[in-house]
């Protein structure tokens, strides 16, 4: 009996040790994937996962790599060298004293790719990140192989009724708690959190429509994605797909970012993000 008891304890301790070592290795690998690069005066944080053709991921407003792409990163890194970035004032990337705009974000990502000696990449952006991706395609078309625009407005009229009025009066208290928590995990600084909110709100309120000529000049094959209950109207996603010269449209069930597994949605076991990942993978293989 005693020998059996001690044998059980030894196995238990061995399991704990093995689990702890595995957790330490996983954490170390996660830390090693994070890097910084100075681009246009900004110390930008980025992560590299996997190998293969480069795929750049640009998160949404008020978000981090984890909060926007946590569900999709493991899928994408199976077949791609994923380069996930955090833009000015978001997550690990601290704010600096300069104007925040979608054009500036595009130039920052382009500068990072040049530092990494990447001549061409697939670019995926969600929400505000999709507007960044659109600007990359407009301002730096030679860098873009294929484009994925998820929940991306290109005109102010593309948002649901009441959006702009609500944003005009929004305060930090209106920010979804999961997004606040994700930011503070990356950067435990309440002042940084407020700076991010203020930057995103001001930048979005100042957003001006993309011109038809700029959008129509984009030659990269593009996948336009949206949710059927998205804050970006599905009809607007259709309009974007028809304005782009080489675009496909995908409408999936869910709200803003739900179909890619955004952290704000409670059903962490939904298979819809895996479906979205499969659709994106098929598009990138074409």
Q: Give the domain ranges of the chain.
A: 32-285
Ranges 32-41, 84-93, 204-213, 273-282: which has the least confidence = 32-41
**Contact call for residues 210 and 137 (beta carbons, < 8 A):** no
What CA–CA distance (Å, rounded) separates 162 from 164?
6
pLDDT tops 80 at residue 33: no
Q: What is the pLDDT of residue 201?
A: 98
**Contact call for residues 264 and 151 (beta carbons, < 8 A):** no
Residue with tokens 């954490």: 27
> Could you read off the pLDDT of 224-260 as tens digits, one per residue?
999 999 999 999 999 999 999 999 999 999 999 999 9
CA neighbor of 74 nearest in space, from 50, 47, 53, 55: 50
Q: What is the pLDDT of residue 175?
A: 97
32-285 maps to CATH 3.40.50.1820: yes
Q: What's the gap between Cα 221 and its chain centre?
A: 19
Q: What is the pLDDT of residue 31?
A: 42
pLDDT tops 90 at residue 9: no
pLDDT tops 60 at residue 13: no
Average pLDDT, the chain: 91
| Residue range 132-142: mean pLDDT, rounded | 98
Q: What is the pLDDT of residue 83?
A: 98
Helices (H), the chain: 2-32, 65-69, 73-76, 102-115, 128-139, 163-168, 177-186, 190-205, 212-216, 234-243, 272-285
| Residue range 94-114: mean pLDDT, rounded | 97
Q: What percent of the chain has pLDDT over 70?
A: 89
pLDDT tops 50 at residue 7: no
Q: What is the pLDDT of residue 158?
A: 98
Widest Cα–Cα separation across the chain: 81
Instruction: Look up residue 230 and give its two tokens.
Output: 């998205």
| Residue range 137-157: mean pLDDT, rounded | 98
| Confidence bin at 11 (pLDDT 50/70/90) | very low
**Contact call for residues 212 and 140 (beta carbons, < 8 A):** no
pLDDT tops 90 at residue 98: yes
């Amino acid at each position: 009996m005693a020998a059996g008891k001690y044998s059980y304890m030894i196995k238990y301790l061995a399991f704990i040790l093995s689990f702890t070592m595995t957790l330490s290795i996983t954490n170390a690998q996660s830390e090693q994937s994070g890097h910084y690069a100075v681009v246009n005066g900004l110390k930008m944080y980025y992560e590299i996962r996997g190998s293969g053709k480069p795929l750049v991921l640009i998160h949404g407003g008020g978000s981090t790599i984890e909060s926007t792409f946590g569900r999709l990163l493991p899928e994408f890194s199976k077949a791609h060298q994923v380069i996930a970035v955090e833009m000015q004032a978001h997550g690990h990337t601290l704010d600096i004293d300069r104007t925040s705009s979608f054009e500036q974000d595009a130039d920052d990502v382009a500068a990072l790719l040049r530092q990494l000696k990447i001549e061409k990449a697939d670019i995926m952006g969600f929400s505000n990140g999709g507007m960044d991706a659109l600007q990359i395609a407009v301002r730096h078309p030679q860098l873009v192989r294929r484009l994925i625009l998820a929940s991306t407005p290109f005109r102010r009229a593309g948002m649901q009724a009441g959006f702009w009025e609500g944003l005009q009066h929004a305060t930090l208290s209106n920010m979804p708690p999961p997004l606040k928590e994700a930011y503070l995990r990356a950067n435990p600084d309440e002042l940084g959190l407020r700076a991010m909110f203020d930057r995103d709100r001001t930048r979005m309120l100042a957003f001006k429509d993309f011109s038809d000529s700029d959008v129509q000049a984009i030659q990269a094959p593009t996948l336009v994605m949206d949710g059927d209950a998205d804050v970006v109207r599905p009809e607007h996603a259709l309009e974007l797909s028809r304005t782009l010269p080489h675009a496909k449209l995908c409408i999936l069930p869910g709200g803003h970012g739900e179909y890619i597994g955004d952290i704000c949605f409670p059903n962490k076991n939904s298979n819809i993000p895996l479906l979205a990942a499969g659709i994106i993978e098929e598009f990138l293989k074409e």
